[in-house]
């Protein structure tokens, strides 16, 4: 009986979601956190002592945080910062945010990105390429949604990416470069927690076309293959120079 009631309860939940399904559009707010200690631990040119020292010094510090927003409809999405400047918690000191916008058009199968990397601003335009996902046997609750785990690999900077997607929001979209799962991706985890992008708020609402529009962009136009080449060269050069490549690419992932 108990089970049946529970079933009924979940059934209603699903139904109420499904009734909203006519307009599967809205915004997801993410918090993007990069752990300096975990990043340093992966730098090949540091000794174990240097890594341990960094862990002791900075292990309890909060990471580098950014607030991001994904605006989506079933056909389009736009992912960028919330707010026009980076600032301290008290708001008294501000800094410039590097250019970073990812716009996707699923209908046309195109992606346009504005990104600052290796000291230059680029406009990257290419056709969409869905990551190759593996769907795994784990469930987790993120911002009130039960998410399933999926995994992929990014060969450009050689990292493991874990995505948690909510199949109760059946839009195949997500933050950053990730999409192509049966639901919206609510969490991304790069390289075992070096960078974690977690949804904090999900709003299903009508999206204005303006919210999906690209800002005015200035930069060198390249395609994704050229982007990958630049990143690879930057990582190789930085590692050789005993520098953390993170300091040259934003957002780094």
Partner 1 sequence: MRHLLLSACLILCACVVEAQTRLSIKGRAVDTTSTALPFTTVMLLTPKDSALVSYARADENGRFELKNARRGTYLLKMSYTGYLPFQTEVTPADGAVTDLGDLKMKPISKELFEVVVKTAKAPLNIRGDTIEYNASSFKVPPGSTVEDLLRRLPGFQVEQDGSIRAQGQEVKRVTVDGKNFFGGDPKTATKNLNADAIDKVQVYTSKTEQSKATGIDDGKKEKTVNLALKEEFKKGGFGKIKAGVGTDKRVDVRGNYNKFDDKQQFAVVGFGNNINQSGMSWDDRQDFYGSSLFRWDETDFGFGGGITSSDGGGDGIIVQGGNIIIMNGGGGDRGFNNTYSGGVNYNFETKKRKFTSNYYFNQRRNWTNQIINRQSILADNAFETDSRSNEYTQNDNHKVQLRYEDNLDSLNTLIVLANGTINNSSYSQDLSQENRRSASQLTNRTTQDNGNSAQTLSLSGSALYRRKFKTKGKSFAASVSYVLNNGDSDAEQRSLNEFFSTSTGLPLTPLQLNLQNVNRNRQNQIRSSLSYVQPLSKRVYWESFYNIGVRNDKVDRDVFNRLEGNVRTDSLSRYYTNQIMHNRLGSGLRYNYKGTNISAGFSAINMNISGKFSSDQNSPNVMEVNRNYTIVVPGVSFNMDLKNNRYLYAEYAGNVQQPSIRDLQPIIDYSNPLYITQGNPDLKPTVNHEAYAGYQYFNPSSFTRFFGNINYNYAVNQVVYNQTIDTLLVTRTRPANVSGGQRFGTYLNVGFPLKKNKANISFNTSINFSRNYTLINDIENRTNNNNYNWGTNLELTPSEKFTFYGNANWSYSDVKYSINTTQNQNIWNQTYSGQMNVKLPWESYFNATFDYRIYKNDRFGLDQNIPILNLAVYKLLGKAKKSEVRLSAYDLFRKNLGITQGASGNYFTQTRVETITRYFMLSYTYNMRGVKANMRRNGGF
Distance in angstroms (rounded) separating the CA atoms of residues 101 and 201? 20
16 binds partner 1, rule: CB under 8 A: no
141 binds partner 1 (CB under 8 A): yes
CA-to-CA distance for 140 and 138, rounded, in angstroms?
7
Instruction: Please select the residue that binds partner 1; options are 56, 82, 213, 225, rule is CB under 8 A.
Output: 56
Contact status: 123 vs partner 1 (CB under 8 A): no
What is the smallest separation between the CB atom of 209 and partner 1, expressed in angstroms? 26
Per rule CB under 8 A, is residue 22 in the interface with partner 1?
Answer: no
Report, in Å, the least distance between residue 181 CB and partner 1. Answer: 7
Query: How far apart are the C-alpha atoms of 136 and 152, rounded to whole Å?
Result: 11
- Residue 12 engages partner 1 in binding (rule: CB under 8 A): no
> Interface with partner 1 includes 42 (CB under 8 A)?
no
| Count of C-beta atoms within a 10 Å radius of residue 199 | 25
Residues from 189 through 228 that contact partner 1 (CB under 8 A): none
CB of 51 to partner 1, least distance (A): 8
Please, which residue, 4 or 209, has the CB nearer to partner 1? 4
Residue 32's CB is within 10 A of a number of other CB atoms, namely 20
| Binder of partner 1 out of 40, 68, 70, 202 (CB under 8 A) | 40
Dist CA 180 CA 27 (whole Å): 17
Burial of 178 (0-12, 13-18, 19+ CB in 10 A): buried
Evaluate whether 178 touches 188 at the Cβ level (below 8 Å).
Answer: yes
Binding flag, residue 49, partner 1 (CB under 8 A): yes
Does position 46 interact with partner 1 (CB under 8 A)? The reply is: yes
Q: Which is nearer to partner 1, 161 or 212 (CB)?
A: 161
Determine the Cα–Cα distance for residues 87 and 95; give it in Å rounded to an integer: 6
Integer-rounded Cα Rg, in Å, for the chain is 19
Among 22, 44, 132, 206, binds partner 1 (CB under 8 A): 132
Q: Least distance in Å: CB of 230 to partner 1? A: 8
Of 196, 129, 188, 190, which Cα lies nearest the Cα of 159? 190
Q: Does 153 bind partner 1 (CB under 8 A)?
A: no
When the beta carbons of 88 and 212 are compared against partner 1, the nearer one is 88
201, two tokens: 């708020």
């Amino acid at each position: 009986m108990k089970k049946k009631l529970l079933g009924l309860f979940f059934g209603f939940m699903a139904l109420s979601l499904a009734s909203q399904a006519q307009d599967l559009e809205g915004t997801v707010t993410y918090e993007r956190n990069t752990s300096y200690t975990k990043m340093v631990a992966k730098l090949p040119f540091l000794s174990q002592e240097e890594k341990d020292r960094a862990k002791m010094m900075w292990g309890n510090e909060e990471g580098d945080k950014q607030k991001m927003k994904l605006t989506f409809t079933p056909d389009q999405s736009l992912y960028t910062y919330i707010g026009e400047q980076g600032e301290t918690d008290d708001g008294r000191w501000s800094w410039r945010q590097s250019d970073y916008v990812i716009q996707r058009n699923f209908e046309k199968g195109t992606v346009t990105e504005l990104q600052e990397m290796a000291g230059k601003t680029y406009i990257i335009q290419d056709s969409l390429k869905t990551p190759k996902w593996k769907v795994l046997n784990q469930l987790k609750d993120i911002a009130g949604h039960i998410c399933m785990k999926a995994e992929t690999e990014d060969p450009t900077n050689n990292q493991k990416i874990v995505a948690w997607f909510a199949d109760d929001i059946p839009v195949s979209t997500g933050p950053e470069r990730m999409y192509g799962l049966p639901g919206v991706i609510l969490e991304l985890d790069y390289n075992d927690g070096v960078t974690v992008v977690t949804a904090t708020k999900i709003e299903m609402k009508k999206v204005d076309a303006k919210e999906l529009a690209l800002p005015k962009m200035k930069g060198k136009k390249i395609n994704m293959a050229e982007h990958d080449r630049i990143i690879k060269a930057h990582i190789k050069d930085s590692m050789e120079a005993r520098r953390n490549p993170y300091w040259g690419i934003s957002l780094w992932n």
